[in-house]
Amino acid sequence: MFGEQLKIWLSKFQKYKVTYKKGFFRLSNLANSPYTIVETFDSMPFCKHSKEKQLITAGTMFLNAQLHYTELEEGLWVFVSDLHYKKNLEMTNIYDKTLPMDFNFINLHYNTTTIESKSMLINGLVLTDKTWTVFKPGNAVSDCHFKNAHENNITVYFTNNWLTRQLKPEDYFANTSMDRFFQSENTYIIMPDSTNDSDNFYMDFLTLAKQNEGGRKNDEIKKLVTVFFKQLVIKYNSSAIADYEFKLSDTDRKYIQKAEKYLSDNLLHSFPGIEDIAEKVGISPTKLKNDFKAVYDQSLYQYYRYHQMSLAKKMLAEKASTVKEVAGLLGYENASKFAAVFKDQFGVLPSSLIS
């Protein structure tokens, strides 16, 4: 009994500690609810908090941050954050058992640093340039951010009561794979997004958040939250991801991330081939194909081609190389074949970017 009380007492002070281990500064965050998260930021040195604007800004040795927050209604909050990391930083989420812990959250993470880089790990799993994550209460243990990473995030927090009252009755949600997830024993979803469908969400949320002093934009933000939920539900239901999601272990996901890294490291070469990738990763070609499709909603080749052409687009936009030079760098024998693949991907010829 005394040991449990001591553990609870120590946990209340844990959020103020800063430690360093294995190349990462470690900070703690009381993550029971949006209330406690705001309270944690509010108590950190070098943080400024405007309750009128619902805005927290930070300029510390670890990061520069802007966090807009709003409680839209009972059980529903939205955070919109712009984060630039100056050091490798690990945030550990602490859950105080003496406080309520009923908030799920959905996060849409954008890494704005470069096309190829990885900016964040959550529970040891890599997030790519744009990733949806869904966590049930108390299951997001830690997230790691790398020096010089620049991230934008939209996070929607909602209680189980709000989920039952507001979301479950909706036609777009009821009896879907996402509905099944919340009824299952699974605790989280990590779903990379390589489409353009959700590109505008961050600026849409940020624009409204900046204008929301006094809550005057709450109704518009609620409408945008509905669109946000619909987009996630549609994406999760639209492919094999949802059905296969329940079968994937963290070990399976890490094998697939090895495959993704191998593809990303070989964008300046021809497609390696599934047999070669499977051998490098250490799983069978069939399992590799099925699991990769489940995680990324694309085949290995589709994923590789999109990211290779995205790299080409970036190189051409910088006007440092000709179409022929870029084609050669990416392993194409002639520029015309490269141009055909580029146009199929983006709808325009690569020459249009340098004219």
Residue 328 pLDDT greater than 70, yes or no: yes
**Average pLDDT over the chain, rounded to an integer:** 83
Chain segment 58-79, per-residue pLDDT in tens: 888 888 999 999 999 999 999 9
**pLDDT at residue 244, rounded to an integer:** 58
147: confidence class by pLDDT, cuts 50, 70, 90: confident
Sheet holding 55-59, edge to edge: 47-50, 55-59, 63-73, 76-85, 150-159, 103-111, 130-135, 188-192
SS3 282: coil
> pLDDT by residue (tens digit) across 329-344?
888 888 999 999 999 9
What confidence score (pLDDT) does residue 254 get? 75
Q: What is the pLDDT of residues 33-59, one digit of tens each?
A: 999 989 887 777 788 999 999 999 988
Q: Distance between CA atoms of 192 and 232, rounded to whole angstroms?
A: 11
Mean pLDDT of 138-162: 88
What CA dihedral angle connects 312, 315, 316 and 322, to 10 degrees? -90
Q: What is the pTM of this model?
A: 0.69
- pLDDT exceeds 50 at position 324: yes
pLDDT tens for residues 248-290? Answer: 776 787 788 788 888 888 888 889 999 999 998 899 999 999 8
Q: Exposed, middle or buried by CB within 10 Å (0-12, 13-18, 19+), for 23?
A: exposed
